[in-house]
Chains A and B, each alone.
Chain A
Amino acid sequence: MAAAAKGTQPLLTIKGLTASAGDLEILKGIDLEVYAGEVHAIMGPNGSGKSTLANVLAGRPDYKVTGGSVLFEGQDILKLEPEIRARMGLFLAFQYPLELPGVRAWQFLKAGVDARRVHNGEEEMSAREFDQMLKAKVEQVQIDPDLVKRAVNEGFSGGEKKRNEILQMAVLEPKLALLDETDSGLDIDALRIVSDGVNLLRSPENAVILVTHYQRILNYITPNQVHVLYDGRIVRSGGPELAHELEEKGYDWIKEAVDAGV
């Protein structure tokens, strides 16, 4: 890793990652490399550990990392608090975004932006500058401007909450975005808004890990690589065609192949 030339170092390197929730071992050895500019889709049947992987990377305290390493821009982040990882440029779009009654979206987002800026040795953003930036992002990701005036996610529909996650992602401009089943439960319009948001964010400098159960979103976002997670391990990796195969054949053939030791 240290010998890697600038630009060829992966943004994210996961090696032998194992993690558990309580006594239950969920991740049983994950290896993954993600380079800037890439989109990786992580698919798999329910209970395979997809969401756990996204949450462990973001630092959710409910999981215990029992082994392996995760390097983000060459730095081991497993011991870092979730807020430090966020300030370094890691973003998790929640599968079930929480409602924050009484917390205004403006205040919430500005706190996040400022925390990251201060972490990077920059000054906090002025209210006016932030206003303009937020307005631009709202237009960019095409969400209802009224959502920003309300308390964060309070009384939002499922689709509105997911769109709000995309707005947060656009505002925080992460280097690595982890989307935890952001597509589930969305109608076609919402799916398009979410996908457009992700495509908008794609650049040679950042990367996206898309955790999903369904191939559907991959009609809108073309991944560089597709990985299939099963029983806490990545059991297949391939190009976009792997997703189509899963769409046609379901997950059973993979389960059978893995269980048979193929």
Chain B
Amino acid sequence: MTSAPAKYAQYLADFQSLTQGPGASVPSWLQSLRDNAWSRFNETGFPTARRGNERWKYTSVRPIAGTDFSLAGRPTAVNGSRDIAPSYHMTGDSVYDLVFVDGHLSAELSSPSDTSNGVAAISLATAASDSAFDLKNQVGSQALLDDDDGFVALNTAFLNDGAYVHVPDGHSGSVVVRISYITADGTTAKVTYPRTLIVAGQNTNLTVVESYYGPKDRAYFTNAVTEISLRDGAQVDHYRLLLEGNKAFHVGTSRVNQQKDSSFRSASFALGASLARNDLEVAFAGPGGFCSLNGLYLTADDQHIDNLISIDHAVPHCTSRLNYKGILDGKSKAVFGGEVIVAKDAQKSDAEQTDKNLILSRSAEVDSKPSLLIYADDVKCSHGATAGHIDADTLFYLRSRGLDLDAASRMLIQAFASEIIDSVKPEHLKEHIDAVFTAAIPNKTLPMAGVR
């Protein structure tokens, strides 16, 4: 611990107060996990864009590494968080709401499960303190400490609270869990470490909405880790909403493991955040798996978003669909790294990946790098990336019907986004996302080539 570089002094102080201060008593397995993670973070530190580090080639985390973020304290009152917590209606046989403020479950704003039907949708801190939940063998089983990024290690070192969702094997009804992580307004530069652990048992049906919110014009850091396990035949719909404040830093790492015949449908929506990283890895561990990973990001000003999506076809007969779309304005920058790996024995793999970007200004920039690593010979794989402006002829078509340039471009931007928004199944969630994105579409006349 003493080897921590001076620049991580704040993290060290926070780590010591978390693990040694009052209320620091946690099960020994958790304490040793934190200690290991802290050591690992001290080895790796934050990643740099050094040569050969393909994972961070186009994204600099200097703004994160250069700020002394301090661990957010337990909030005394929910204050404004009540207004931030999502209120759209969700329907399902069992519906649960878990709301976290500054990293701690807010009992006032949440409606967790009572476990009477065997379903757990509760605080991770609660689950960790009860050996019946056996978190020891689940936490950290997907998000490993051995990568060089440092973020998973740092999150794990500060592992304290988060969401634990477990649907037991064969549970029949649909389960819906809405998990909301809110950073409350405050003057200090705060960091939170949301941790989400989701286990969908055999042949279960689970929908999870994982959302991140925070104040405008405040620099804060969210370092989130999500682990999702799908047992045989499980069907999970996962929605990720990044609605952080405009000065926020967000690094999200999601690791998904899919057993035989399971289906994982995810849609990631990103708005806000000064710097956002969405690192998602899906691993097929049993044949017959299906995943569809959709994404939509809208950036403006000098925002930077980095999506790094990896799908590991380690076993045969799995199908993956990756479809990300970006809308970029201002001087914003989007990085997309898509990687599909098809192992030598993974015959009959079927993979498609696309990344399409609509660029609304001359200064916005996209670095899109889809890649396929195929070691099997009987596979169906494709990939593609595009970046383009709104087509001038199409604009004229709309204008010739009476729409002005602004209304016409809005309609085309909305149309571009609709493919991803329409993939959202819960009706009220779709309306919510549609409203949020529609409001965020830049209102302006486009200075595009060919448009006079």
List residues of A whose CB falls within 8 A of some B CB. Answer: 58-62, 81-83, 86-87, 91-92, 94, 97-98, 100-103, 107-109, 111-113, 115-116, 119, 151, 168, 172
Contact = CB atoms under 8 A, between A and B. Distances in A.
15 contacts: A59-B400, A61-B396, A61-B450, A82-B399, A82-B400, A98-B393, A102-B414, A102-B417, A103-B412, A111-B403, A111-B407, A112-B401, A112-B402, A115-B403, A116-B402
Nearest to A113: B402
A86 B397 CA distance: 11
Nearest to A58: B400
A82 B392 CA distance: 13
B397 A87 contact: no
Given A61-B452, A83-B399, A100 B404 contact: no
A92 B419 contact: no
Across the A-B interface, the 7 shortest Cβ-Cβ residue pairs: A102-B415, A115-B402, A112-B401, A86-B402, A61-B452, A102-B418, A82-B399
B401 A111 contact: yes
Given A82-B396, A98-B397, A87 B402 contact: yes
Contacts of A101: 415, 419
A89 to B, nearest CB: 10
A46 to B, nearest CB: 20
A183 B419 CA distance: 33
A97 B408 CA distance: 16
Given A103-B412, A111-B411, A61 B392 contact: yes
Interface size class of B (residues with CB under 8 A): 20 to 34
B262 to A, nearest CB: 30
Most-contacted residue by chain B among A97, A107, A112 (CB, 10 A): A112
Interface string B31-75: 000000000000000000000000000000000000000000000
Most-contacted residue by chain A among B396, B401, B412 (CB, 10 A): B401
B438 interface: no
B400 A108 contact: no
Contacts of B402: 83, 86-87, 111-113, 115-116, 119, 172
B8 interface: no
Contacts of A81: 399, 404-405
Contact of B411 (A86, A87, A107, A113): A107
B411 A115 contact: no
A228 B236 CA distance: 66
Contacts of A168: 401
B451 interface: yes
A61 B407 CA distance: 17
B79 interface: no
Most-contacted residue by chain B among A82, A103, A112 (CB, 10 A): A82
Interface string B440-451: 000000000011
A100 B415 contact: yes
Interface string B378-395: 000000000000011110
Contacts of B452: 61
A98 B399 CA distance: 12
Contacts of A103: 411-412, 415
B133 interface: no
Nearest to B395: A61
B345 to A, nearest CB: 38
Nearest to B393: A98
Contact of B397 (A97, A107, A109, A119): A97
A172 B404 contact: no
A83 B451 contact: no
